[in-house]
């Protein structure tokens, strides 16, 4: 971010950084929706909660799934 602010990277490099962060934020937001839907299905309809994804790049933070691409 300091390189972007300092004008030391080209526009395509800036877009890559911005797009990566936006994509992670969008995925984490959708994981929250998925968690809420799973909770409603479990609490109100008696369905089992789905298992967490089997990957090191997804973990739980405050009870919610989050993508951690740096893992």
Does an H or E element contain 11, and which?
helix 11-45
pLDDT at 11: 84
pLDDT > 90 in the chain, percent: 15
Mean pLDDT, range 12-19, rounded to an integer: 84
32: left (phi over 0), alpha (psi -120 to 50) or beta: alpha
What is the pLDDT, as a whole number, of residue 2?
Answer: 80
């Amino acid at each position: 971010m300091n390189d972007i602010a300092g004008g030391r990277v080209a526009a395509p490099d800036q877009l890559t950084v911005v797009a990566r962060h936006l994509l992670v934020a969008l995925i984490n937001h959708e994981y929250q929706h998925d968690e809420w839907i799973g909770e409603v299905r479990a609490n109100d309809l008696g369905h089992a909660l789905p298992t967490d994804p089997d990957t090191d790049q997804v973990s739980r933070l405050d009870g919610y799934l989050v993508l951690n691409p740096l893992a």
